[in-house]
Amino acid sequence: MDDLPENVCSGVVIDAAMHVHSTLGSGLLERAYAKCLAHELRTRGHTVEVEVPVDLVYRGTVVDHALRIDLLVDGVVVVEVKAVEKLDPAHTAQLLTYLQYSGRRVGLLFNFHAPRLKDGMKRVVSTGRMSLRVPSR
């Protein structure tokens, strides 16, 4: 079970995020951490998409690019980057929503403002998927 692509990838992402945090410390904006994390993962040979648009359906209509995933690593792990005083349940809900609407299963939430990144990190696994139904014309 540990060798599933999402599990292997999430381990690599966690290690890279810890490296970024130990190098930069806390105090920067989310965007800076996301860019540095993307760079770190790419130097390790991983595919990283940044600000990945996700569509959703609202009242029978597809709303293009309604959501944006901070990072999508190797096509399997969704990463949400925060730099806030404290992670809130809304941040976890946001990541879960991204997972469900993107059809991905595993996500990582990082709060780079935390003095120790391990205290500002959360792994989320989605058990269900939202279906993006394109309305009939």
Q: What angle do CA 25, 87, 55 make, to 5 degrees?
A: 105
pLDDT tens figures, 25-57: 999 999 999 999 999 999 999 999 999 999 988
Residue 92 domain-assigned?
A: yes
Residue 130 domain-assigned?
A: no
Residue 3's pLDDT is what? 64
- What total number of domains does the chain contain? 1
What is the reported pTM?
A: 0.89
pLDDT tens figures, 58-110: 999 999 999 999 999 999 999 999 999 999 999 999 999 999 999 999 999 99
Distance CA 27, CA 52 (A): 25
Residue 116 domain-assigned?
A: yes
Residue 25 domain-assigned?
A: yes
**CA-to-CA separations, 51 to 34, 73, 80, 116, 133, in angstroms, rounded:** 10, 11, 10, 25, 22
Domain that holds residue 58: 5-125
Residue 86 domain-assigned?
A: yes
Residue 132 domain-assigned?
A: no
Residue 137 domain-assigned?
A: no
Residue 62's pLDDT is what? 92
Burial class (CB in 10 A: 0-12, 13-18, 19+), 24: middle
Residue 57's pLDDT is what? 87
Residue 122's pLDDT is what? 97
Residue 136 domain-assigned?
A: no
